[in-house]
Structure 1
Amino acid sequence: MNGDLKIALVGNPNTGKSTLFNVLTGLNQRVGNFPGVTVDKKTGYTRLADGRNAEIIDLPGTYSLYPKSKDESIVFQVLADPNNSAHPDLIIFVADASNLKRNLLLYTQVADLKIPVIIALNMVDLAEKAGTEINVDELSKRLGVQVIPVCARKNANIGKLREALSYASKMPLQLETIEVAALAPGLIGKIQTEFLVDEPYTALQFAHQHETLKFLTPEQSDRIEEIEKEYSFHSTKAQAAETIARYNFINDVLLDTVKFKPEGTKETFSNKIDSVLTHRFWGFLIFFAVLFIIFQAIFAWSEFPMTLIEEAFVWVSEAAHNALPPGPLADLLVDGVLAGLSGVLVFIPQIAILFAFISVLEDTGYMARVTFMMDKIMRKVGLNGKSVVPLIGGLACAVPSIMSARTIENWKDRMITIMVTPLVSCSARLPIYTLLISLVVPDESFGGLINLQGLVLMSMYVLSMVMAVLVAWVIKLLIKSGERGYFIMELPVYRLPRWNNVAFTMYEKVKTFIIEAGKVIIAISVILWVLSSYGPPARMEVLEQKYQTAKVTGVTPSEEVQNLYASEKLENSYAGIIGKTIEPVIKPLGFDWKIGIALITSFAAREVFVGTMATIYSVGTDEAQEESVREKMASAKNPETGQPIFTTAVAFSLMVFYAFAMQCMSTLAIVYRETKSWKWPMIQLAYMTVLAYVSSLVVYHLLK
């Protein structure tokens, strides 16, 4: 879909910009990268009141056009460069009505770039509750722009905003906020003339930011440096003078347009809650209680839908075997593709529940409090509060979490965060944990509330967090940096979760899980089925002759002969040979060659482990006895001892291995992209592999 109009959403963090983006675009959105950089570009489409389509670009939240991070630097890059593919025809400036003074600083900067602007005055309901009265018409008159009061969370006045977008002027109508040329008269005029820049404020920003602007050549940047020296331009002093001038303008505007009711010494509702939820003792206790509830729910609520999905796949496999003519194609579809997919798609309910809880915690404002609480602990191990965002985000996926570490200004803090984030148990590990826990941990409850399986699952997540903190402390001692990190954040007010947003997040995450994991799983399942079904011709011929003789003699029952033949055929297949080759290395951990194959294939993506197990245990099985992957693994026996393969020791050893091992090509690729070097991903791969191996070895021998 092409947009007839390109609109950028600009605003401070926590103003509801992303909420408004979701309301305007619905499901019609996608994520890419801004040209030339690795910063996320979130775009979507909406239909305006006049029937035109508009492309909406959600620019990163920032408090000022003077950037403090890579994400923030994108805002000016996009707005100042007409050749940028994201450069807008119109800006929706999203302002928090309950905190207008701070928001208007960025507005005045954006307005002076002279791109047409409409202000979406969000959270008007919260402003009214706080006793703030805004004269919207007078504010619109004083600024020279349309001001539309909206409440994005409640979908209020969105129709009026669409109408305003439809009939917005193509010319910038906003009034001058400050006299920009007076800040550096000679320099601004010279840059405007030499670089053909129309607006004085854009020229001034060239002087401030020329070293980081991607659309300027090195020669152009050097020339601006020369002009700065010629006019004795001091960037810090000019920025301070500009900020003072802007706040003088803002104070004049607010004096005529906003009235505040005296609150006296009354404590706000959010502060009352914070006194408990961010308490240095009770706060952590409550956080662990929240985690406990989440992991209890993951097991308790998902069992019924998981059973339905398992039974559905068993039925489909039986139907496919009956409908398709016997042969390699039928085996490939049923034992390869269907078995691989069933092993992963069965965990959709648990993935959905996990992301529903994460979405609720973010929507209510509680996740921001967790970040605040963790700051002191993080500092002791060489991180800061901003590191908590990637670490908690790692519960979903390490890839976007590592990318979000760009907001950390301190290089050392950022590198440590990148190095330890993959240790946090992500959603891709959830299918592995839940499968292995269901095999060896009884489904028992204490007092009708505490589920033992949920308790073990929570312990795996807590273990991963603790290990991430310990490794961060070790890396802090190894990496030297004189730079001091700092952490400033604004705590949003508490709100009820928007259930449509929670549902949308669940849908998006499950869709991503199915599409991204599904593509890899199908590809690997097909390759694995081929490797498991075929082997060196000489070996296969000897095996065929051996079992032909067994069938003729009839000493052994034919069903047993068939099972022995299938087992030996798998062992002598190409997959079996690979597994047997690495078996001596992994045997001390309690793993056999079949698990070894899964360790190799799951390096593409951790969740492939379950699909691999499903495929490996499906090849050569009796078509008349279709079972789920859990049933196949539970009944698997060690041919040497006759005991179950997946004992408590093996299951926990395997879970600990996956908790600490890298086992994810995408994460390695993103670390390389973020650090611009193979040095860091290789160090990461090495230390995580050693940590996983040693930890797994200890756990196996303690529980054996």
Structure 2
Amino acid sequence: MARATLISDPTGAAASALTLEALRDVPPRSHRELTRIALIGNPNSGKSSLFNQLTGLNQKVGNFPGVTVDRKTGISQLTAQHRAEIIDLPGTYSLYPKSLDEKVITDLLYDQASDQYPDFVVVTVDASNIRRNLLLFTQLADLGLPAVLALNMMDVAAQHGVQIDIMALQQELGVPIIPMNARNGVGIAALKIVMSRQLGPPTRSFYEPGDDLLPMIRQIRYYFNLHNDYLALHYAHQFRQISFLTPDDKAYIGELVEKYGFQATPRQAQETIDRYARINDILLNTVTVTRTEKNEPYSNKIDKVLTHKVWGYLIFFGVLFMMFQAVFAWASYPMELIDQGVTWINQLVQTNFDGPLVNLLTEGVLAGLGGVLIFIPQIALLFAFIAVLEETGYMARVTFMMDRIMRKFGLNGKSVVPLISGVACAVPAIMSARTIENWKDRIITIFVTPLMSCSARIPVYTVLIALVVPDEPVLGIFNLQGVALMGLYLLGFFAAIFSALALKLLLRTENKSYFIMEFPVYRWPRWKNVGITIVEKVKAFVFQAGKVIVAISVILWVLASYGPGNALEQAEARVRATAAEQRYTPEYTDIRIASEKLESSYAGLFGRTLEPAIRPLGFDWKIGIALITSFAAREVFVGTISTIYSVGQDADMRTVQQKLAAEKDDNGQPFFTPARAFSLLVFYVFAMQCMSTLAVVYRETKGWKWPLLQLLYMTGLAYVSSLIVYQLFK
């Protein structure tokens, strides 16, 4: 009866109950220590959904020790008495790594002496594709790691006619199995209870090295004091890549490998064959597949349209247009509310208080803070769209389609992922290029990825577009400002692929590479995951970029409010003398005094020094200051100009757009003409994004050669392009 119940229950609730009953006598973990649990699984097995369900918003992103690979961790409350640190490892198909992302997994799981070594692992398995997913599990089990198998996507398995005898499979694998649907939270409670127990290693092994390898394996095992033969075998396979081994350790293993004639590649291939043979035997008795559907799966039908050579691209560009329209149209109302709130606070402080500290607060801190908070709606909307596209499975199809274009310009098919990720942020995008095995293809991808317009440029784009592009409809459905924003993104994309083509010809890359991607099935987005993504990205913008913006805004206010000696007093005296002769109005006199004092300040002197170099682009010394400070982070541009144009100006000018629109040139005409605005926009499309980008390129390329070449190329491209635009349209 139990077997029939388990097979007919697509959620696996009955199996979860029996698993917990079987673990009733297993003691709980000690209350004194925080359990460290690693999540590991194949790509698209639902690992990220499970991580979000276990940790919620209690997450943080850092780096694995010694490398720049993202390391997501979070705290999960397992029971009332037990908490655990959850480590979300990169997705992988095997313990034989092919990229730097996968290498951090082996570095973590092979080093038992590390303080980061997990107490046990949770292996996520796609129940609808269980055969392929079990390869990784059997490798982990043979390492002797205490494990729990999270049999995810049970609903999808049921839809595909996959029936699994959970208890029989649990007996065959020798570990607790929790059937679940992580997207909907089904099975999470049962998994937490199992994770709070003091589990032992798996009771089954799945692969035995040949007798001819045992002498070498045993010597490695005893030399490093390892707990099993299979771990010693992995040392022989991967000793050159294991980061925690000393040169003497690697030399010792190298001598043994040479002595016994050990060849890693054929041994790995044979091991994979043997493992799949064992997996097939297990699944023969535990899994039944009934093909009740004769028609083609609906995902394939949708793919014929969404990945079509013509319609696929039209639909994709339609999605992009909708996304950029939303960034302008939908975000305008909350942005206005935020702006009014900051202005109200600013006016309240200025009305009731006076003095240098008040000016610092209103013209420095609040002006910079306003430049951060006002763009939260746009940042949130952008990442909401990206999260939905990823959750539904559409982003994988976009990557596949763009591969057809990328190859014509000499980019590796895997370059598509960093380029698309670059629309969010160049730093993780450049790090994701580790999946590209070919060194030259990887260098080209790293070199051109910063040309993709990241989310940090949105504040710059939106401020200047709103200033000079009319808010008018196009073809009745599109907004002209949204079209301009889309054009800037396309300009960066075309610059990236043509730069890649030029670099390919210079580096003479001839090696062929292949792009393999597994399409996830289409699903409705899990709105909790979308919400977590939005909150995390907004927090990163506010607390990381925001700290830089506010700090620089305060520094700029100081530089703009003070000058060498009595330069500011002399500037005011000159203006008052001229005002008496020319009979200026009091209001115009105040404006001229503020302008002259700003020009005579430390910030003014700094900008004046730079001005001759940027004057041909249509820029003045005030923009020059913003260009320099925004190299810390592109968003700083808005905070800088907000601060620069706040000093001494009328407090009634609420928005950055109003301050820029009120700026006049030497002839009394509006300073920010379309020619100047588009010149500045083009400069920001091509210029190097920020110091963080240069730093991560240095880390990824192991030297300063490529980051410096990248900085010189992008700065030169930005300068020449901006010069052409201004000279043509002025």
Structure-1-length-normalised TM-score: 0.97
Task: Report whether the alignment pairs 1:605 with 2:633.
Answer: yes
Q: Alpha-carbon deviations, 1:39-65, whole Å to 9, x = none?
A: 221111111125211111111111111
Aligned partner of residue 184 in structure 1, secondary structure: helix
Q: Alpha-carbon deviations, 1:535-571, whole Å to 9, x = none?
A: 1214334224334556888943333222211111111
Aligned pairs (5 A) from 1:546-561 = 546-547=574-575, 549=577, 555-561=583-589
Aligned partner of residue 115 in structure 2, secondary structure: coil
Q: 1:314, 1:105 → 2: CA distance?
A: 60
Task: Report whether the alignment pairs 1:23 with 2:53.
Answer: yes
Aligned pairs (5 A) from 1:150-229 = 150-169=180-199, 171-180=200-209, 182=211, 184-229=213-258
Equivalent position of 1:637 in the other structure:
664
Q: Which residue identity does 2:626 align to in structure 1?
A: A
Equivalent position of 1:532 in the other structure:
560
Q: Indicate which of 428, 444, 460 corresponds to 2:472.
A: 444
Q: 2:32, 2:722 → 1: CA distance?
A: 52
Task: Report whether the alignment pairs 1:376 with 2:404.
Answer: yes
Aligned pairs (5 A) from 1:193-342 = 193-262=222-291, 266-324=295-353, 326-342=354-370
| TM-fit CA distance, 1:281 | 1.2
Using the aligned pairs only, state the percent identity.
58
Q: Using a 3 Å threshold, how does the CA distance of structure 1 residues 114 and 523 change in structure 2: closer, same or farther? A: same
Aligned pairs (5 A) from 1:585-664 = 585-623=613-651, 625-638=652-665, 640-664=666-690
Q: Indicate which of 95, 111, 127 corresponds to 2:157.
A: 127
Equivalent position of 1:697 in the other structure:
723
Equivalent position of 1:103 in the other structure:
133
8 Å Cα contact 2:160-2:291 kept in structure 1: no
8 Å Cα contact 2:427-2:692 kept in structure 1: yes
Q: Which residue identity does 2:298 align to in structure 1?
A: F
| TM-fit CA distance, 1:148 | 0.4
Q: Alpha-carbon deviations, 1:50-108, whole Å to 9, x = none?
A: 52111111111111111100111111211111122321111101000011000111111
Q: Which residue identity does 1:614 align to in structure 2?
A: S
| TM-fit CA distance, 1:626 | 4.2
Q: 2:508, 2:561 → 1: CA distance?
A: 53
Q: Which residue identity does 2:715 align to in structure 1?
A: T
Equivalent position of 2:9 in the other structure:
none
Q: Alpha-carbon deviations, 1:437-489, whole Å to 9, x = none?
A: 11111111135421111111111111111111111111111123454322111
Q: Alpha-carbon deviations, 1:643-678, whole Å to 9, x = none?
A: 111111111111110000014111011111111111
Q: Alpha-carbon deviations, 1:611-646, whole Å to 9, x = none?
A: 1111011101134x34221111111111x2221111
Q: 1:662, 1:484 → 2: CA distance?
A: 30
* Gap runs ≥5 in structure 1: none
- Of residues 121-130 and 83-92 in structure 1, the stretch that sits farther from structure 2 once superposed is 83-92
| TM-fit CA distance, 1:534 | 1.1
Task: Report whether the alignment pairs 1:684 with 2:710.
Answer: yes
Aligned pairs (5 A) from 1:353-392 = 353-392=381-420
Root-mean-square deviation (Å): 1.7
Aligned pairs (5 A) from 1:16-55 = 16-49=46-79, 51-55=81-85
Q: Using a 3 Å threshold, how does the CA distance of structure 1 residues 478 and 578 change in structure 2: closer, same or farther? A: same
Q: 2:597, 2:124 → 1: CA distance?
A: 65
Aligned partner of residue 286 in structure 1, secondary structure: helix
8 Å Cα contact 1:550-1:561 kept in structure 2: no
Q: 1:427, 1:572 → 2: CA distance?
A: 35
- Of residues 179-188 and 529-538 in structure 1, the stretch that sits farther from structure 2 once superposed is 179-188
| TM-fit CA distance, 1:182 | 3.8
Task: Report whether the alignment pairs 1:499 with 2:499.
Answer: no
| TM-fit CA distance, 1:594 | 1.0
Q: Which residue identity does 1:635 align to in structure 2?
A: A
| TM-fit CA distance, 1:237 | 2.1
- Of residues 579-588 and 468-477 in structure 1, the stretch that sits farther from structure 2 once superposed is 579-588
Aligned partner of residue 515 in structure 1, secondary structure: helix
Q: Which residue identity does 2:316 align to in structure 1?
A: F
Structure-2-length-normalised TM-score: 0.93
Q: Indicate which of 38, 56, 63 corresponds to 2:86.
A: 56
Q: 2:510, 2:256 → 1: CA distance?
A: 33
Aligned partner of residue 15 in structure 1, secondary structure: coil
Equivalent position of 1:5 in the other structure:
35
Matched residues, number: 700
8 Å Cα contact 2:599-2:605 kept in structure 1: yes
- Give the 4+ runs in structure 1 shifted more than 4 A: 547-554
Q: 2:164, 2:527 → 1: CA distance?
A: 29
Q: Using a 3 Å threshold, how does the CA distance of structure 1 residues 304 and 2 change in structure 2: closer, same or farther? A: farther
